[in-house]
Structure 1
Amino acid sequence: MVYVILIAAAIIFWLIVIDRPVVKITFSDGHITKVKGHLPAKFKHNLVEIGEKNSFNGELKVYQQRTGAKLVFSKQVPKSVQQRIRNVFPHQGFKVKGDRKAR
């Protein structure tokens, strides 16, 4: 019986603590160095263009939530670059899980 409780605790720990972004993008000197997950082609093109104009380092993670996608930037990414990336982010490219009803 104790092993069932330990397995349940491990599963709960895994679901809560483990970081699971839909897309993870790493930047170095304005260039995309590493991509994990599906990155739409048009969004990648826009990121490359932003990186050419503004050289920066950091990381971008996209999380899927009930209300849509959430962008999380590392502290190294300047606020002006964050805003430019938010402006070109394709919210329609990241589908919302579940069915939202119009009220």
Structure 2
Amino acid sequence: MLYVILIAAIIIFWLVAVDRPVLKVKFEDGKIIREKGHFPPAFRHNVLDIAEHNPFTGELKVYQQRTGTKLSFSKNVPKKVQQRIRNVFPHQGFRSRGAKKSG
């Protein structure tokens, strides 16, 4: 019985504590160093254009939530650049899992 409780605690810890973004992009001096996840081509083009004009070093993460998507930036990404990236973010390209396409 104790092992069942232990396994349940490990699973709950994994679901809550593990960082699981849908998209993770790392920048260094305005260039993409590493990307993991679905990076829509139009959004990628716009982010690279922003990074070319205002080079920065940092990380961008996109999380899928029930209410939609959430953008998260590392602390060394300037606020002005964060806002420009939020402005070009394609909310339709990152649909929540429960949302159905109307067609």
Q: Whole-Å Cα distance in 1 between the matches of residues 30 and 99 of structure 2?
A: 37
- Structure 1 stretches of 4+ moved >6 Å: none
Match of 1:46 in 2: 46
Report percent identity of matched pairs. Answer: 67
Change (3 A) 1:99 1:39: closer
CA RMSD of aligned residues (A): 1.1
Corresponding residue SS for 1:97: coil
Distance 1:99 1:50, change over 3 A: closer
* Matches of 2:99 and 2:21, distance apart in 1: 21
Write the letter of the residue equivalent to 1:40: P
Residue-pair matches, total: 100
Alpha-carbon distance in 1 for matches of 2:96, 2:17: 22
Structure 1 gaps of 5+ residues are none
In the alignment, structure 2 segments of 5+ residues that lack a partner are none
Normalising to structure 2: TM-score of the pair? Answer: 0.93
